[in-house]
Amino acid sequence: MKNLKKLLALLVTGLMLIAAAGCGDSAGSGSASKAASGSGSGGKQITMGFSQIGAESEWRTANTESIKQAAKDAGINLQFSDAQQKQENQIKAIRSFIAQGVDVIAFVPIVETGWDTVLKEAKDAKIPVIVVDRDVKLNDDSLYVAKIGTDSVAEGKKVFNWIDEYMAKQNKQPRSGNQYNVVILEGTVGSSVAIGREAGFKDAMAAAQDGSKYNILASQTGEFTRQKGQEVMESFLKSDRDKIDILFAQNDDMALGAIQAIEAAGLKPGKDITIISIDGVKGMFQAMIEGKSNCTVECNPLQGPLLMETAKKVLNGESVDKLVYVDEGIFPADVAEKTLPERKY
Amino acid sequence: MEKLKQFTSSSLFLPIVALAVLLIFNAVFVDGFLHIQLTEDGRLYGRLIDILNRSSSLVILSLGMTFVIATSGIDISVGAVVAISAAVVCTFIGGRGDGIPEHPMVLAMLAAVGAGVVCGIWNGLLVAKFKIQAVVATLILMTAGRGIAQLMTEGQIITVYYKPFSYISGTIPGNILPTTIFIAAAMVLLVVFLMKKTSIGLFVQSVGINPTASRFSGINVTLVIFLVYAFSGLCAGVSGLIESSLIRAADANNAGLNMEMDAILAVALGGTLLSGGKFYIGGSVIGAITIQTLTTTMYALGVSADQLPVVKAIAVIAICLIQSKRCQEIFDKWKARHMQPDNPEEKAVNKA
Amino acid sequence: MANVLLEMRQIDKIFPGVRALSKVDFTLRAGEIHSLMGENGAGKSTLVKVLTGVYGRDGGTILLDGKETTPRTTKEAQECGISTVYQEVNLCSNLTVAENIFIGRQPKKHGFIDWTTMNKRAAELLQRLSVRIDVTKTLDHYPVAVQQMIAIARAVDVSARILILDEPTSSLDEQETQKLFTIIRQLKKQGMGIIFISHFLDQVYELCDRITVLRNGKLIGAYDVDKLPKFELIAKMVGKSLSDVQDFEKREEKSQPSEEMFLEASHIGCTGSLVDMDVAIHKGEVIGFAGLLGSGRTETAELLFGIHEITHGAITVNGKKMHIKEPMAAMKQKIAFCPEDRKSSGIIEDLSVRENIILAMQAKDGMFRHIPYKEQVKITDDCIKLLNIKVSSREQLIRNLSGGNQQKVIIARWLATQPELLILDEPTRGIDVGTKSEIQKMAITLAKKRGMCVIFISSEMDEMVRTCTKLIVLRDRRKVAELENEDISSENVMRAIAGGEG
């Protein structure tokens, strides 16, 4: 019954959504969290305008929650705006932040380009801008004060290093020939994350002493989705069912799809084929507990505290690095069960 | 000879040729393409099975799309409806890690298909009753549908751990073929049955060719158009079940993404004109399988990710060219020259 | 002797399986109105299409001013000075009148379309044809008759020397026809050669100088009009002896209506289309609705069949008051309707003859009570035999039939539903003499033998007078007179239409 009510509520919201879309007004003002407990940085309370791209995945939801929570903890007044996957909404939101005269603006850019004008406006209004999570391409890098995010090249490197160590420790032998055969499920073609993760992996492989023990057998895009991850893995298995030793999926979802394809082919994921992926979503931990995957390298969405810290530093006139990376951990299967309850996303 | 001639002039000939060319290409260039083996747990395993398995949901979508296009309409919302259906079935069963369903799976499946039908009815009302142009009317659900699915799943990917859920797309123990193939076959049979035992086919064609004359002949044009969209919704609902079961999850962002375009392409490849009128169910089915074969081919050949769209586009263009009017004329001329009944070689082949 | 403008010699045209034209000669002189006569399928249209470059020819020569020419497209034909107005108006209904007239050859200024000049010239052109309309409105604002005039205006403007008119008067009323004839005669005086194709013998005799007769793709002969009596012409067209034809023209004895009332409509109307109309139809009666185009005759038929809903008045069928708001409601009362515009509201062009015939019957049965294929075949074959429909097979597409046979298929569609009231709206328009008389006879026979009611609507006074037992005359969307028995005559109808005391 509960679900039925939920459905009904959804339907109503859905209709409202349609109506709203019809009116052409979707400059999401969002829910401004007024809760600003405590004194924070002493005298004047800091106000931050933050534009999130929308709710696309569990990961993004965790990202949003982290920022909201961190703002509350730091006593910063957060003006939150949801762009519903549209750049124009983000630009509108940033303009309204400028008009409101917030102290600092932070945003997760939905695309890399097209920000010069609006960021120039912010700079003219002497409001510092912090770019969160994703990259931007600007003609003038002084338009923002700092970028906070994840380091996809480092993630790729961690993946290779973990595999290398794991293979040596487990004393695993190649299933055929004398090299470990690796297949890669790439992310969306051309996305900065996919490029970074692949480069990091290959760099680490080239730099490693025993890099020659590894052979990249096939690499194909799985577009960061389960469907495609599964379909592409299915195809890999048809060609080289008995050769593949290692699967590197550039995100967890593709790995989860691929696990099903491996099972369908009559192999044991995590045993016959060693699987490592990036992100660290809950579903992956579940799979690791079941022994179907070996490791996930975290891509940390909990960027809130670092963002707030950086913002305060900037406003206090302290110098900050242009690039600030969040901490990212490695979670192999043996710690999965212990870690799962602590996972926030 | 007569039979061969009859076949070459049938509406299915060109779609079949296009598929055959693709399959032959694969058989030559992809190792083990035709290889099918029986796994230890008694399932057939091989690329051809994969193609059938993966094309099922597109086959089902293109069934509904064929009728819609035959009435000179179009339904671009099916991809989003697939996402809604996937979201409904997964929220009903629930993402509990211990694999216990929150509601019985049958109920969840019925709810998902039902949600598809409701979406179809919505489209049908807009197009048939309120006379909104089909593209515009279905565009509403195309854009809003994914949002609705997102709301249902609360922006998460709901993973279903309930084992029987995977049987929809996988293999029920004891069967040698994936269930999807049976579902698709059942849908095709349903349509064939409707075509043979009812007059829906005649009415749909009639409405697509000349709605005024159809109305003057007593056909309830509004009802026919309405039903066609409702059926397309049903197909999308079933398709959503398969899509979600394949990954055992509801991915509101990606489930059924761009499938409406593939379905339209499948119908077009099958020989049905986008302007409506005569339609070819068999052609659409073959068209859908052709599209999936093409995707599988690309993966099998290891075309690198950044070249994939280009190579695929070239292949689609080639297939469309094979089926174009001009090509048909050239082929007819060739046939006239080379397939004379007094050609001894042909006769010999035919006898053998 | 006027000088020869066009000579076509030994023209052959072969379609797959059919020899459409074989060794046909045709000569057109300047300042002459020349009629091409023949039954449907005789090859008139094919000959014209060969001349205008729609079809290529398979043999023979075309001499224009003594020079050999081979127009490969209609555009090339136009450049040679050959212009055509087809039977079915082929203009674009969503373009303006001016755009339609100048489509493909818009006057330009600096590379852009010069709208002012275009509209001005269009208005002038139409004024010459005494048509005064707003040329900036889209075509669908105007009735078919006006559209026809626009099509002619378009053809005449292309500095044409040969003008081909294919059934130009089939949708025009008497007045409009006369207006058109005036224009044609004017063009003739300017030295234009005009090819006039029509099924209306009277019009041919009134307008033309010479007649070329075709039959089954062969030339029968070319004659001066005053040396060829009507009966002889018909004999040549249908290929029968003179006495046969005279018999052919003999009247079928009219049906005697019974006392039993089938349908009664009192003071019915529909806002915007019909003001006030009374009809009472007895079983076995053939009623004619006479009146000019737009007088309310088609509108009445459409109300009776539920195409539109009546806004006032009442319809009673078999003594019971009925609310007919959908064609299906009318069909349930055993009412059938063959619409006026065969192409847009009659045939389903890409379906076969069989499918077209069973369509209404199937619609009546509902989509889930499918008529088995065998039964469909039987119904179709019976209809083909009964109405003498000429088809190569029952699976032939209806679009490939001649107009007369298409009309018969539509009638067959309705006869298959076993109606008690059959409404025929302009069933003989654009149909050859033989089929015309067949359809008239059929209407009478159905009333006599089956006790069916028939409503017959036609612009041809003759056939109405010949066929109907009662005539209702309409003017300005209301009933003005009702004529019965001996009162039925062309003069009385004319007088009623003209507003005199009927």
Measured between beta carbons, which residues in chain C are less than 8 angstroms from residue B203?
362-363, 367
- The verdict on a CB contact (< 8 Å) between B41 and A266 is yes
- The verdict on a CB contact (< 8 Å) between A226 and B247 is yes
- Position A258 in a domain: yes
Residues A288, A204, single domain; the answer is yes
What chain A residue is nearest to B158 in terms of C-alpha separation?
A: A283
As a whole number of angstroms, the distance between CA B61 and CA B67 comes to 11
Q: What is the pLDDT of residues B229-250, one digit of tens each?
A: 999 999 999 999 999 999 988 8
Q: Is the pLDDT of residue B350 over 70?
A: no
Measured between beta carbons, which residues in chain C are less than 8 angstroms from residue B197?
370
Q: Is the pLDDT of residue B347 over 60?
A: no
HEC-encoded secondary structure of chain A: CHHHHHHHHHHHHHHHHHHHHHHCCCCCCCCCECCCCCCCCCCCCCEEEEEECCCCCHHHHHHHHHHHHHHHHHCCEEEEEECCCCHHHHHHHHHHHHHHCCCEEEECCCCCCCCHHHHHHHHHCCCCEEEEECCCCCCCHHHCCEEEECCHHHHHHHHHHHHHHHHHHHCCCCCCCCCEEEEEEECCCCCHHHHHHHHHHHHHHHHCCCHHHEEEEEEEECCCCHHHHHHHHHHHHHHHCCCEEEEEECCHHHHHHHHHHHHHCCCCECCCEEEEEEECCHHHHHHHHCCCCCEEEECCCCCHHHHHHHHHHHHCCCCCCCEEECCCCEEEHHHHHHHHHHCCC
- The verdict on a CB contact (< 8 Å) between C351 and B215 is no
What chain C residue is nearest to B207 in terms of C-alpha separation?
A: C348
Prediction pTM value: 0.77
Residues A120, A234, single domain; the answer is no
Q: What is the pLDDT of residue C87?
A: 64
- The verdict on a CB contact (< 8 Å) between B299 and A186 is no
CATH number at residue A103: 3.40.50.2300
Q: How many domains does chain A have?
A: 2
CA C219 remoteness from chain centre: 25
- Domain with A221 in it: 152-299
Q: Among B200, B209, B216, whose Cβ lies nearest the Cβ of C351?
A: B209
Residues A157, A281, single domain; the answer is yes
Residues A84, A169, single domain; the answer is no
Predicted ipTM beyond 0.90? no
Q: Is the pLDDT of residue B344 over 60?
A: no
- The verdict on a CB contact (< 8 Å) between B305 and A265 is no
- Position A344 in a domain: no
Q: What percent of chain B has pLDDT over 90?
A: 56
Q: Is the pLDDT of residue B89 over 90?
A: yes
Residues A142, A264, single domain; the answer is no
Q: Which chains touch B (3 or more CB pairs under 8 A)?
A: A, C
Q: Is the pLDDT of residue C242 over 70?
A: no
Q: Phi and psi dihedrals of A122, rounded to 5? A: -65, -40
Chains C and B touch (3+ CB pairs under 8 A): yes
B45 SS3 class: strand
Give the burial class of A8: count Cβ atoms within 10 A of its Cβ; 0-12 exposed, 13-18 middle, 19 or more buried: exposed
A10 band by pLDDT with thresholds 50, 70 and 90? low
Residues A98, A159, single domain; the answer is no
Q: Phi and psi dihedrals of B175, rounded to 5? A: -90, 155
Classify C334 in phi/psi space as left (phi over 0), alpha (psi -120 to 50) or beta: left
Tell the residue number behind the tokens 């097209």, with chain if given: A114
Measured between beta carbons, which residues in chain A are less than 8 angstroms from residue B170?
264
Q: Phi and psi dihedrals of B289, rounded to 5? A: -65, -40
Q: Is the pLDDT of residue B346 over 80?
A: no
Q: Phi and psi dihedrals of B214, rounded to 5? A: -65, -45
Residues A157, A294, single domain; the answer is yes
Q: What is the pLDDT of residues B101-143, one digit of tens each?
A: 999 999 999 999 999 999 999 999 999 999 999 999 999 999 8
- The verdict on a CB contact (< 8 Å) between A55 and B247 is no
- The verdict on a CB contact (< 8 Å) between A235 and B97 is no
- Position A21 in a domain: no
- Position A34 in a domain: no
Interface of C with B in 285-344 (CB under 8 A): 305, 307, 326-328, 331, 337, 339, 344
Radius of gyration of chain A (CA): 22
Residues A83, A170, single domain; the answer is no
Measured between beta carbons, which residues in chain A are less than 8 angstroms from residue B253?
56-57, 225
- The verdict on a CB contact (< 8 Å) between B198 and C355 is no
DSSP string over C397-439: BGGGS-HHHHHHHHHHHHHTT--SEEEEESTTTT--HHHHHHH
Q: Is the pLDDT of residue C321 over 80?
A: yes
Tell the residue number behind the tokens 């300042």, with chain if given: C31
**Residue environment code for B297-314, b if the CB has 16+ CB neighbours within 10 A, otherwise e:** bbbbeebebeebeeebee
For the record, the structure tokens of C48 come out as: 């014209």
The dihedral over CA atoms of C117, C118, C124, C125, expressed in degrees to the nearest 10, equals 150
Q: What is the DSSP letter of C42?
A: S
- The verdict on a CB contact (< 8 Å) between B218 and C364 is yes
Residues A195, A232, single domain; the answer is yes
Cα–Cα distances (Å) from C195 to B57, B142, C190, in that order, read: 60, 56, 15
Residues A160, A208, single domain; the answer is yes
Q: Is the pLDDT of residue A32 over 50?
A: no
For the record, the structure tokens of B222 come out as: 């509004």
Q: What percent of chain C has pLDDT over 90?
A: 35
Q: What percent of chain B has pLDDT over 70?
A: 95
Which among A12-26, C47-61, C72-86, C102-116 has the top mean pLDDT? C47-61
Q: How far is C449 from chain B (nearest CA, A)?
A: 25
Measured between beta carbons, which residues in chain B are less than 8 angstroms from residue A55?
150, 155
Domain range annotation of chain B:
14-30+45-339
Cα–Cα distances (Å) from C286 to B30, B289, C192, C410, in that order, read: 75, 59, 45, 19
The dihedral over CA atoms of B58, B60, B64, B65, expressed in degrees to the nearest 10, equals 20
C264 band by pLDDT with thresholds 50, 70 and 90? very high
Of B82, B54, B94, give the one whose Cα is nearest residue A264. B54
- Position A287 in a domain: yes
